[in-house]
Structure 1
Amino acid sequence: MLVAPLLWTAVGPAAGHGNHVTARPQISPDGSVVVESLFVLDGGYLVLHEGSQRGDPVGHVRLDQGGHRGVTVQVDEDWWASQDETVPLVAVLHRDAERGDDFDPEVDTPVSAFGSVASSSFTVGKGDAPVNLVATKFSGHGVDDAVTVPRVELDGDGYVVVRAEEDGGPGGIVGHAAVEAGDHSDVEVPVDSDALGSDGETVYLWVSVVRDDGDGSYGEADEPVVVGGDPVRSRIQGTLGGDGGELTVGVNTPTETTSGDAADGGTADSGANGSATTDSGGGGTSMPTVGVLGTVAAVLAGVVLRVRRR
């Protein structure tokens, strides 16, 4: 009798999702780092590690169970000041082993995602103003005559550019929209949906941010924003002619928390290492699907742990 309602509550928002985190390349002026999206089955912490999964934790926030998009983590101020112009980080999901205490890396260990640590490697560049992109929606985008990008932050006037996927990577441009310097929400990017396929088809698109070269018109001379050799961009999934059916769980924000030298945060994007973001627990589009049985098993494990702790 105890398990049934808890299981239903947990499976409702969690159905089809497993522990997962995706971060993208970005620029930060002050060590405020944005993680594009994540899903955590049983609550815990989002922790930024220096250089690798085993690197020192340099910032964290507490997370409630469920999906979160655009999560800001403030790294330690002294550590940030000591870093070079490009900073390699790994976003890792950790459990909250003792429920409600401060983050302790010795006890609050990383959670798994499909047999490996739920993590995402990415690079943050230092700059005078932030540049980041939050393009993911938890249930994909509806693509009619435009794509809505939830958040864009740019350090100068520029463009949000959408490309079709070709051979697993960015292909031809299907749309772009001008944006001024600053922080923007729900940016509408007109696209040529006819060039992508027919209504009802699932498509994959690549969204990037590009700086204007000063002429006020998008063209080949406008350069994409690049951090550590990787462009600031995101891969998204969409349905042609659909509304995307976004889950409201996609806009949750975490409770701020501070522990030791780690600072705390609140909301947005980042990540790649090498030529692409390195994620565990699924691809870099929307949340990975694990199926009902996988989700039920994971949630049951969480329920058992809760009951044992009582």
Structure 2
Amino acid sequence: MWFRNLLVYRLTQDVPFDAETLEAALAAKQARPCNSQEVSTYGFVAPFGKGADAPLVHVSQDFLLLATRKEERILPGSVVKDALKEKIDEIEAEQMRKVYKKEREQLKDDIVQAFLPRAFIRKSTTFAAIAPSQGLILVDSSSHKRAEDLLSTLREAIGSLPVRPLTVRVAPTATLTEWLKTQQAAPDFTVLDECELRDTHEDGGVVRCKRQDLSSDEIQNHLGAGKQVTQLSLAWQDKLSFMLDDKLVIKRLRFEDLLQDQAEQDGGDDALSQQDASFTLMMLTFADFLPALFEALGGEEVPQGI
């Protein structure tokens, strides 16, 4: 149970997250399969385990884990387009008349409804962790849309969720650019071997480097020419590595073997115990890592009135 990506949200008010109450609330928004005429469904699923008895909220120490699942029928646009063109050509040839916009839209809707029962179904799961003591909600995704889908559904389930994306006082691109220029990140952080550089002009170029010596003259020349760092790979202590972008999206999280070995040892032989141990250790690591990261980036920004 190790998150691969991270979007961080700040609770702007104290919310009493009682596990039992939350469990009952999520049950009213539980995931279900798409029926034959539905494009998609969305709801909560058990983060660990399967079956009717598996809880929708997993509690470990002061942390809560939940998950949502989206089921959607995949209907390629090209298939609908070809079928629509064929139908329009048939009508225009047989009835000797033009098919206009309103009728086209109705024909398209009819085609979609006819094709839906035969469409493939794609399932995707999104995990989120709530850390009430830290006032944070952490979503395992690099997509703001997926995170907002989860948070909106959680808000509907519990009635209110005062939350906003966490931001910092200094533009992340300025800090990352300075770290790369000087090859000196904040204490406990190390610049690794991957970055993205962008020209600040409207039509400026983009340079992406992977497995490169980022202290090389070539990289420094790009920085000297005015390019800014919009993504940078970093390590924190000897515990994890990640890619950070200028929107504070943490991608490609990798927890080092030391932590994974510890979780394996703590969890024993049972699969659910292993997942619980991994989740707990991950959240305890985040409790130290995230404040250090945001402080290194200039400190968390608190909007006026909050």
TM-score where L is the length of structure 2: 0.24
Please identify which structure carries the higher strand content: 1
> Which one has a bigger Cα radius of gyration?
2
TM-score where L is the length of structure 1: 0.24
Please identify which structure carries the higher helix content: 2
